[in-house]
């Protein structure tokens, strides 16, 4: 089976879409698939090319058996609606033009933004091959949730376009059950939606001894370390976190923020204004191969989002990586993510953007050793049920079904 996968995020970028796509594609190659990924030069989230890369018209390499084609796009920071839209549209156009000449049995396009799926839809029509919409986020609803767009005419046009694309795809692969329910309530047929959630790769994330050299380097010996590893964006409520840390009054607790994003400068400015240097360290993104070492030194993984009904449908991928490392989760997300953490007893949940509740739950996590050990056991159970390799195989079987049904109709 020849798979053509369209995504504007791919390693060496280290965000969740890049990691999921890469690890899925590796498993599909092992299953015998011929996988071609169309992407762009790595630049997320700063809009600056990674060292060793150029924004060429065309570059082709093979990584882990995956044919990776990088195309020219307009590059900008992950901030500002207009410029980001130009970025998305340029990739949609480039991927469409190249895709016309790529052999395939099926086209897969991943969100959150759906301009990539425009390309897949067009290729599907011209090549007469089925296409699959991988739904990572409810876009444009998530933009409205962080205050970057109001409920006006442009939003309604984008929302109608979104529904059009869902209905025109052969299959929607949703990352959460809540996404599936949302689409069904809006008229998308239940039979064409399959759920394949995020998970963790047990080859990279597993319980291990703390990296003592790293602890010493970061001056975190004998600290209770809480980490946030990932994009510092508008949705993640990190401004609330750093303001709450200012009222912590516990020198033994230390927050480790690793990553970059549109809000990082603002968050660091707030941190300096609130003088939390004794309780927080900010680091630039680290290579994916080193993330496990950094997670080894922590005691809990922080997973926050803004308080919004939209984010009740989201299951952040940070949950699974922390759980795989045996690190209990401090979760500030309502909805399905909270249900998972509570069902597996893999951590403790606080009311999003509620400072008193956040600080109280943090202290419980630090001071109750029996509860902490129970959460570690819950992490192991959660990790076993959300294994990335098995989930990749599940998605591959859905793709095989789509191709099989398409051939029957020919």
Q: Report yes or no: 68 and 60 within 8 Å, Cβ to Cβ.
A: yes
Give the pLDDT of residue 235: 87
| Range of lowest pLDDT (310-324, 358-372, 374-388) | 310-324
Give the pLDDT of residue 149: 57
Give the pLDDT of residue 152: 73
- Please indicate, yes or no, whether residues 370 and 402 belong to a single structural domain of this protein: no
**Residue 84 CB contacts under 8 Å (≥ 6 apart), including other chains:** 76, 78, 113
Tell me the mean pLDDT in the region 19-33: 97
Residue 97: give the domain boundaries: 2-199+387-409
**Count of domains for the chain:** 2
Interval 50-60: pLDDT, tens = 999 999 999 99
Interval 299-316: pLDDT, tens = 999 999 999 888 898 999
Q: Is the pLDDT of residue 145 over 80?
A: no
CATH label of the domain that carries residue 264: 3.40.50.2000
Interval 254-266: pLDDT, tens = 999 999 988 999 9
Give the pLDDT of residue 160: 87
- Please indicate, yes or no, whether residues 14 and 121 belong to a single structural domain of this protein: yes
Interval 331-360: pLDDT, tens = 999 999 999 999 999 999 999 999 999 999
The Cα angle at residue 313 between residues 307 and 317, in degrees rounded to 5: 90
Which pLDDT band, with edges at 50, 70 and 90, does 85 fall under? Answer: confident
Residue 349: both structure tokens together: 């949940």
- Please indicate, yes or no, whether residues 11 and 56 belong to a single structural domain of this protein: yes
Quote the CA–CA distance of 32 and 387 in Å, as a whole number. 20
- Please indicate, yes or no, whether residues 37 and 156 belong to a single structural domain of this protein: yes
Report the candidate in 221, 219, 279, 218 with the shortest Cα–Cα distance to residue 253: 279
Q: Report yes or no: 244 and 271 within 8 Å, Cβ to Cβ.
A: no
Q: Which long-range contacts (CB under 8 A, 24 or more apart) does 181-184 make?
A: 182/138, 182/313, 183/135
- Please indicate, yes or no, whether residues 137 and 266 belong to a single structural domain of this protein: no
Q: Which long-range contacts (CB under 8 A, 24 or more apart) does 184-187 make?
A: 187/163
39 within some domain = yes
- Please indicate, yes or no, whether residues 395 and 379 belong to a single structural domain of this protein: no
């Amino acid at each position: 089976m020849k798979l053509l996968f369209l995504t504007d995020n791919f390693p060496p970028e280290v965000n969740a879409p890049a990691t999921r796509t890469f690890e899925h594609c590796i498993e599909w190659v092992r299953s015998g698939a011929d996988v071609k990924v169309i992407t762009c030069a790595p630049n997320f989230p700063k809009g600056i090319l990674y060292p060793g890369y150029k924004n060429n018209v065309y570059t082709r390499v093979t990584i882990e058996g995956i044919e990776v084609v990088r195309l020219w796009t307009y590059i900008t920071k992950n901030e500002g609606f207009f410029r980001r839209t130009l970025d998305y549209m340029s990739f949609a156009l480039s991927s469409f033009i190249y895709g016309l000449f790529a052999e395939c049995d099926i086209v897969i396009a991943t969100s959150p933004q759906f301009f990539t799926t425009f390309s897949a839809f067009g290729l599907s029509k011209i090549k007469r091959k089925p296409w699959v919409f991988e739904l990572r986020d409810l876009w444009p609803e998530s933009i409205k949730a962080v205050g970057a767009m109001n409920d006006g005419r442009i939003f309604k046009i984008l929302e109608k376009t979104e529904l059009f694309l869902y209905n025109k795809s052969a299959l929607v692969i949703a990352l959460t059950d809540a996404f599936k329910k949302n689409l069904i309530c809006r008229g998308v047929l239940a039979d064409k939606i399959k759920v394949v959630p995020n998970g963790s790769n047990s080859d990279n994330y597993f319980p291990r001894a703390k990296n003592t050299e790293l602890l010493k380097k970061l001056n975190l010996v004998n600290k209770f370390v809480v980490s946030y590893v990932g994009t510092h964006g508008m949705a993640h409520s990190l401004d609330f976190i750093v303001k709450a840390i200012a009222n912590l009054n516990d020198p033994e607790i230390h927050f480790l923020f690793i990553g970059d994003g549109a809000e990082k400068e603002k968050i660091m400015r707030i941190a300096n204004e609130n003088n939390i240097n004794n309780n927080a360290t900010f680091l630039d993104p680290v290579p994916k191969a080193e993330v496990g070492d950094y997670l080894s030194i922590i005691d809990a993984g922080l997973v926050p989002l803004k308080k919004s009904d939209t984010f009740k449908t989201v299951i952040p991928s940070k949950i699974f990586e922390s759980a795989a490392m045996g690190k209990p989760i401090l979760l500030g997300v309502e909805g399905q993510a909270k249900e998972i953490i509570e069902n597996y007893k893999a951590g403790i949940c606080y009311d999003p953007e509620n400072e008193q509740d956040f600080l109280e739950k943090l202290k419980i996590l630090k001071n109750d050793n029996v509860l902490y050990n129970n959460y570690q056991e819950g992490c192991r159970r959660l990790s076993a049920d959300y294994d990335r390799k098995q989930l990749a195989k599940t998605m591959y079987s859905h793709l095989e079904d789509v191709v099989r049904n398409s051939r029957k109709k020919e």
